[in-house]
Structure 1
Amino acid sequence: MSEFIVGPMNNLLWGDGQLLIYVLLFAGVWFSVRLRLIQLREFTHMFKLLKKEGKSDPQGISSFQALCTGLSARVGTGNLAGVAMAISLGGSGAVFWMWVIALLGMATGFAESVLGQLYKVRDSHKEFRGGPAYYIRLGLNQKGLAVLFSLCLFLGYGASFSAMQANTIAEALNNTFAISTSTSGIVIAAVAGVIVMGGFKRIARFAELVVPWMGLAFVATAVIIAAMNFTQLPALLLDIVLSAFGLTEASAGALGAAIKSGIQRGMYSNEAGAGSVPHAAAGAAPKPNHPVAQGYIQMLGVFLDTIVLCSCTAVVVLLAGVGSSGEIAGIGVTQYAMSVHFGDYGDDFIAAAITLFAFTSVVANYAYAESNLHFFHLDNKWGKGAYTALYLCMVVWGANASLKEAWNLADMSLGLMTMVNIYAIIQLTPTIVNLMQDYADKRRAGKDMEFRRSEVNVQGQVAEGVWKD
């Protein structure tokens, strides 16, 4: 399968064709222009909305829980193994292009999350569900395309992504503690099974409890390392910028590798445009109760994931003297870099960090794919049981698969999802712009911020009983 399907598809999307890189850059620029640089213009408003904690509807999760759920999927191997991979293939300049795709991706993430909120539905348990399949069907009335996205989602988040995250956990534990990958796979599947069988709200609660603390611990560690090496920071930053344009001796001739690796790994890390995070956004009952509020919250998630956490990993790796090797490398590089700074403690810390980072992604991945069972009328005991069994089997398989095999399958799944989602959100741009304007007008006038569907011109139709008329 890898030789005849996965390989050629990845070559088109990521390799010689680089189709996905151009599509993502176009989407980032498109929404940055159409939304008037909302990621810069309204930067502080993202943080202000987090203070408005609570839920506008008891059947939804809070904005903070939605943010943590989105981050639990984003914050994973892309932040630790992915950054190391980008640097090993593209050098320090890849970090700059990760920043670029993150800034552009903030606007794309805003757009898709607004749509996830607007076109959400209530499932058989009266909980909110939504995502690209829902806004493609309700907003564009293209059921065939919605089915295609859902199938790509199941292949990606329901199968290969969780396998890839389990692969990284198993590798880290095997490198540090000599725990067999088979044992790791079984334990990961068992613990994940206990959490995911509690449903979306238990997953959101788990994310709310774990994600903030693990993120703060990692940032604090990177700050300590930076402080220990503060005299090297100016030269490091200059090298990142110059290498991004092939202007240093070490980066000469490697400009293409820096751009490709940085964008590919940055996109994989923050997931902006992939159509994954709208599932978390749709589950929220935000305050104020307006689709745009959740757009701001998930835009903040892109910033925290790539600009903050990926930069922390880059600092750790580059200050350890790790540079471009031209060969694929995973979590072992980050473990080595941390051991340079802290000895054996650093190796243990990264093993613990990647276990938590990747495990939260394993759990959130389940929630994203499970949200689409309602789309196929399979959100019942048998449908959920079959999906859960497949998901857990893929976790066990992934722990024992090769690094290249797991990453390649994940790349193909992510690429296909992204192509479908970008097409959809570009088509729904008028609705996104109208919603943003409605939110801005009400905020400026000091009016009630609640969204009413009769006040905004939106494409297609929204679900009955979700929004007030």
Structure 2
Amino acid sequence: MIEFLEKVSGFVWGPPLLVLIVGTGIYLTLRLGFVQIFALPTALINAFSRKKQDKLSEGDISHYEALTTQMSATIGTGNIVGVATAVIAGGPGAVFWMWIMAVFGMATKYAEAVLAVKYRVKDARGEMAGGPMYYLERGLNAKWLAILFAIFGSIAAFGIGNMVQTNAVAAAAENSFSIPGWVTGIILTIITAIVILGGIKSIGRVTAFFVPIMAVFYLAGGLIIMILNFDLVPTTVSTILTDAFTAEAVGGGILGTVIRYGVARGIFSNEAGLGSAPIAAAAAKTDYPGRQGLVSMTQVFIDTIIVCSITGITIVMADLHQTGIAGGALTGESFGTFLGTPGIYIVSIATILFAYSTLIGWSYYGEKCFNYLFKSPKAVSIYRFVWVAVVFVGAVTVIDIVWLFADIFNALMAIPNLIGLLGLSGVVAYETKRFLKVAKEEKEAEKRAKAS
């Protein structure tokens, strides 16, 4: 079964899908006039400010809470394990192609959020509901694609968002602190229930507090390594750039080895194109779809350009990627090379925090997909209780096969979502033009107010 699933996963995540994801990002970048470049400074300011507009606009949570909910789902094991596997399989140059993927992925994430807000609705609970399911049905008039996405999303959430994450937490807790898996499972089950049974408002409050702390904790460890070993940084960056353009990188079929692993793991980390993050974006209190679009795209910048870079540069600096050390252990050993045992503990604690945050964020994604299929408050309650129960199962079970199922269903989510993004790109372009005009008027009004 594992061999069969590996073949299926390799097929669905093959060059055609990777080309489609990257191609969509490039197309949206060109059509939107490189919005992710010229509007990034404004987007970062808006993402971390609590404006009056948040209180006056329709929605369930603030821009900031929507962003941290997205970040909670994406800043996960991919930032530690995914980057390590990319460097092992593709070499140091894979880090560069993760950066390139992130630049175009920001345009994709922006478009997803714009459409999520544009076509969102209020569900039976009175909460905002949006995402690919709704813009496929209400925007593209393709309900069958919406149903497929919701099915794939509901199932994928239990894999990549639940069992994979709880297993990573249990493994890190046992390896570093000798805590048995069943103990970790019980603790995770209780604290997860407390958070997610309260719905998106509870999730938003927790992620708004929790996500910045865990990100800063990990980034601080990486920055200390770079500062103490600053003489190695220029050489490391040079190695990454040189390796990115080797014959192996640009050869080997449609996508070379280095490019393929860099792109694939970049997608795994920031989820641009999968269609998961716009589900949280739809809950934001916002007056214009474009405003939330700018906020949402900063998640890719933070996730890949900042957090993944810390991992990738540290791994290449340590130069242990050809020693046979696998996955997250490579990241831990790389941190340990420069900081000793504390470095290994930093990675272990970060793995626990990152994985738990993903568990919280993806619970909301899966719930909204399930709610779209059954449109019943009772169905949502059932989903939440099942989710909590599966948390314990993931912590005490060997789940290699779950990783493969998760990979497959993530790819299946991406296909209908990308069709929706391409088909509705004209709507995204219109909403972008409309919002940028408003943003310009707002800035001019602020200047006049200051002058007076």
* Same fold? TM cut 0.5: yes
SS of alignment partner, residue 256 of structure 2: helix
Q: 2:405 aligns with which of 394, 406, 409?
A: 409
Question: How far apart, in 2, do the equivalents of 1:3 and 1:80 lie?
Answer: 25
Contact 1:167–1:406 under 8 Å retained in 2: no
- Relative to structure 1, the CA distance from residue 251 to residue 272 in structure 2 (aligned partners, 3 Å threshold; closer, same or farther) is closer
Question: How far apart, in 2, do the equivalents of 1:335 and 1:399 lie?
Answer: 21
Report the more deviating stretch, 149-158 or 167-176: 167-176
SS of alignment partner, residue 55 of structure 1: helix
List gaps (5 residues or longer) in structure 1: 450-469
What residue is the counterpart of 1:11 in the other structure? 10
RMSD: 2.4
Shift, 1:247, TM fit: 6.2
Q: 2:17 aligns with which of 16, 20, 24?
A: 20
- 1:336 and 2:336 are equivalent in the alignment: no
List gaps (5 residues or longer) in structure 2: 446-452
SS of alignment partner, residue 126 of structure 1: coil
Contact 1:246–1:253 under 8 Å retained in 2: no
Contact 1:83–1:265 under 8 Å retained in 2: yes
What residue is the counterpart of 1:33 in the other structure? 30
**Counterpart amino acid of residue 98 in structure 1:** M
Question: How far apart, in 2, do the equivalents of 1:20 and 1:275 lie?
Answer: 14
Contact 1:159–1:391 under 8 Å retained in 2: no
What residue is the counterpart of 1:462 in the other structure? none
Q: 1:323 aligns with which of 321, 333, 340?
A: 321
Shift, 1:395, TM fit: 2.6
- Relative to structure 1, the CA distance from residue 328 to residue 104 in structure 2 (aligned partners, 3 Å threshold; closer, same or farther) is farther
What residue is the counterpart of 2:213 in the other structure? 213
Question: How far apart, in 2, do the equivalents of 1:247 and 1:235 lie?
Answer: 20
Contact 1:93–1:241 under 8 Å retained in 2: yes
Shift, 1:41, TM fit: 1.9
**Map of 1:280-291 to 2, 5 A cutoff?**
280-286=280-286, 289-291=287-289
- Relative to structure 1, the CA distance from residue 227 to residue 359 in structure 2 (aligned partners, 3 Å threshold; closer, same or farther) is same
Shift, 1:425, TM fit: 1.0
Report the more deviating stretch, 58-67 or 276-285: 58-67
Write out per-residue CA displacement over residues 28-53 of structure 1, whole angstroms, 9 at most, x where no aligned residue.
11101111111112121212323353
- 1:390 and 2:417 are equivalent in the alignment: no
What residue is the counterpart of 2:227 in the other structure? 227
**Map of 1:176-215 to 2, 5 A cutoff?**
176-215=176-215
Larger helix percent: 2
- 1:135 and 2:132 are equivalent in the alignment: no
- Relative to structure 1, the CA distance from residue 184 to residue 19 in structure 2 (aligned partners, 3 Å threshold; closer, same or farther) is farther
TM-score (norm 1): 0.88
Shift, 1:3, TM fit: 4.3
What residue is the counterpart of 2:370 in the other structure? 373
Contact 1:335–1:346 under 8 Å retained in 2: yes
Question: How far apart, in 1, do the equivalents of 2:329 and 2:396 lie?
Answer: 16
Question: How far apart, in 2, do the equivalents of 1:61 and 1:161 lie?
Answer: 21
Question: How far apart, in 2, do the equivalents of 1:170 and 1:19 lie?
Answer: 35
Report the more deviating stretch, 215-224 or 203-212: 215-224
SS of alignment partner, residue 56 of structure 2: coil
**Counterpart amino acid of residue 383 in structure 2:** Y
What residue is the counterpart of 1:299 in the other structure? 297
Question: How far apart, in 1, do the equivalents of 2:11 and 2:251 lie?
Answer: 26
Contact 2:77–2:165 under 8 Å retained in 1: yes
**Counterpart amino acid of residue 301 in structure 1:** Q
What residue is the counterpart of 1:115 in the other structure? 115
**Counterpart amino acid of residue 384 in structure 1:** V
Contact 1:66–1:280 under 8 Å retained in 2: yes
**Counterpart amino acid of residue 412 in structure 1:** I
Question: How far apart, in 2, do the equivalents of 1:156 and 1:328 lie?
Answer: 28
- Relative to structure 1, the CA distance from residue 438 to residue 152 in structure 2 (aligned partners, 3 Å threshold; closer, same or farther) is same
Contact 2:160–2:406 under 8 Å retained in 1: yes
Number of matched pairs: 441
Contact 2:71–2:299 under 8 Å retained in 1: yes
Contact 1:70–1:301 under 8 Å retained in 2: yes
Question: How far apart, in 1, do the equivalents of 2:247 and 2:234 lie?
Answer: 17
Report the more deviating stretch, 371-380 or 188-197: 371-380
TM-score (norm 2): 0.92
SS of alignment partner, residue 275 of structure 1: coil
- Relative to structure 1, the CA distance from residue 253 to residue 442 in structure 2 (aligned partners, 3 Å threshold; closer, same or farther) is closer
What residue is the counterpart of 2:360 in the other structure? 363
Shift, 1:56, TM fit: 2.8
- Relative to structure 1, the CA distance from residue 48 to residue 348 in structure 2 (aligned partners, 3 Å threshold; closer, same or farther) is closer
Question: How far apart, in 1, do the equivalents of 2:320 and 2:3 lie?
Answer: 32
Shift, 1:128, TM fit: 1.2
Write out per-residue CA displacement over residues 397-438 of structure 1, whole angstroms, 9 at most, x where no aligned residue.
333444643332221111110111001111011110110111
Question: How far apart, in 1, do the equivalents of 2:318 and 2:8 lie?
Answer: 35
Question: How far apart, in 1, do the equivalents of 2:59 and 2:437 lie?
Answer: 28
Question: How far apart, in 2, do the equivalents of 1:311 and 1:401 lie?
Answer: 31
**Counterpart amino acid of residue 37 in structure 1:** F
Shift, 1:378, TM fit: 4.0
**Counterpart amino acid of residue 173 in structure 2:** L
Shift, 1:340, TM fit: 1.7
Contact 1:133–1:146 under 8 Å retained in 2: yes
Shift, 1:21, TM fit: 0.9
Question: How far apart, in 1, do the equivalents of 2:239 and 2:251 lie?
Answer: 12
Report the more deviating stretch, 159-168 or 424-433: 159-168
Write out per-residue CA displacement over residues 283-342 of structure 1, whole angstroms, 9 at most, x where no aligned residue.
0012xx1000010001101100000000011122222222246x7822221122222222
What residue is the counterpart of 1:427 in the other structure? 423
Contact 1:12–1:19 under 8 Å retained in 2: no
Question: How far apart, in 2, do the equivalents of 1:18 and 1:329 lie?
Answer: 24
Percent identical residues: 33
Contact 1:373–1:379 under 8 Å retained in 2: no
Write out per-residue CA displacement over residues 258-307 of structure 1, whole angstroms, 9 at most, x where no aligned residue.
21211111101101111000011000012xx1000010001101100000
- Relative to structure 1, the CA distance from residue 161 to residue 308 in structure 2 (aligned partners, 3 Å threshold; closer, same or farther) is same
**Counterpart amino acid of residue 373 in structure 1:** F
Shift, 1:396, TM fit: 2.8
Question: How far apart, in 2, do the equivalents of 1:152 and 1:20 lie?
Answer: 16
Shift, 1:445, TM fit: 4.0
- 1:313 and 2:327 are equivalent in the alignment: no
Contact 1:87–1:324 under 8 Å retained in 2: no
**Counterpart amino acid of residue 431 in structure 1:** V
Write out per-residue CA displacement over residues 50-89 of structure 1, whole angstroms, 9 at most, x where no aligned residue.
3353333365200000010000001000111111111111
